[in-house]
Structure 1
Amino acid sequence: MAMRSFLYDIQVSLLDMPWPVWRRLMVPSTITFKKFHEAIQIAMGWQSYHLFEFKYGPLTISLPDEDFVVDDTHFDARWKKLSSLNLASSDVMSYLYDFGDNWVHLIHVKGVRPLEHRQMTVRCTGGEGACPPEDVGGPYGYEQFLQTIYDSEDPEANHLLDWAGGTFDPWAFDRNQVNEEMAQRFKK
């Protein structure tokens, strides 16, 4: 008997931000947690420079390293699929990105429905707020970064803006651009 595939309607919210930073994703249950991580990276605007970890109750799902042991509570993200958790509406899990900056995301399942198209890929249906720059120093460093770049008297402001790519709009989010990147990354 074939396992049924589902489409998850998921909201990913970055915690400890000065204002809401979130993305709404449609995700097929057939993808691995490694691919789910890649989708979150694209949707949020991260660059995938750092390690990550999903937590669902007592379960931990991440990429193995020299200390990694696969057992009843630790799973390899390259092989573990979302479908293995039997997620239901209202389920939540956490996603930690960058163990140094400690970016914690809350993943909230908003809905589950049968997957109609086998070729369904991940897509973003909404969002708000820009992702902080990589390596900015976590939520506290991000607040310091924002204070500095918006203080026209601070001599460090131009240096930080150059470091962040020249400009930074903390409210920017472009769903179409995210979906273009998703289509490139997840094309069959």
Structure 2
Amino acid sequence: MLLIAFPFTSPDGTKVVYRSTRGHDEDEKKMYKNLFIMDAEYGDSDEPMQLTKGKCIDTHCQWSPNGDWIAFASNRGNPTAQAPPGLPDPGFFGIYLTKADDPNFEPIKVIDSGFKRARELFPGHCVHPCFSPDGKSLIFAADLAAVSVDPISLPLFVHSVRPYGDIFMVDLKMDDINKNKEMDKYTRITHSRYENST
């Protein structure tokens, strides 16, 4: 069975990027999803272009305002991760950029999950990237703040299925896309008193 999700239209309205299990065999479809682009008028009756490839999950895709780039969340940095015993979700999602018209372009990892920042003790998520209207920043939900020290909320020691945490922003350097690799400077936009609040 073909699974399709998270469609997003191009700025000019002529194309749709989406996540799909297309191209994977039945066993792989349970685990792997990549990005495809189809014509908005003809749909998938006209063969869609496979934008990303790999045995990983590429998801939550969005076009840049000028239509040149697509931001997405992916576990391609650690696709074979297993959830720790007793926990349902291995996590390890980061934010990536890829060219909207080049399926051979190797996606650039912009920011990784809290997994790396927590000395690889806990899984993590950076998900749902959105471009700012001027295309110079990415806003995303993440667990980068780790355990809250706010006295009103209890510390989170057990990894929940979707611990998004708070909303963050990272400024992009679109004059040279390679300057956006593995960025470690970001701004926390929200500071919720509650764990997993986004």
Interval containing the TM-score (normalised by the shorter chain): under 0.3
Larger fraction in helix: 1
Taking structure 2 as the reference length, the TM-score comes to 0.26
Higher relative contact order (CA 8 A, sep 6+): 1
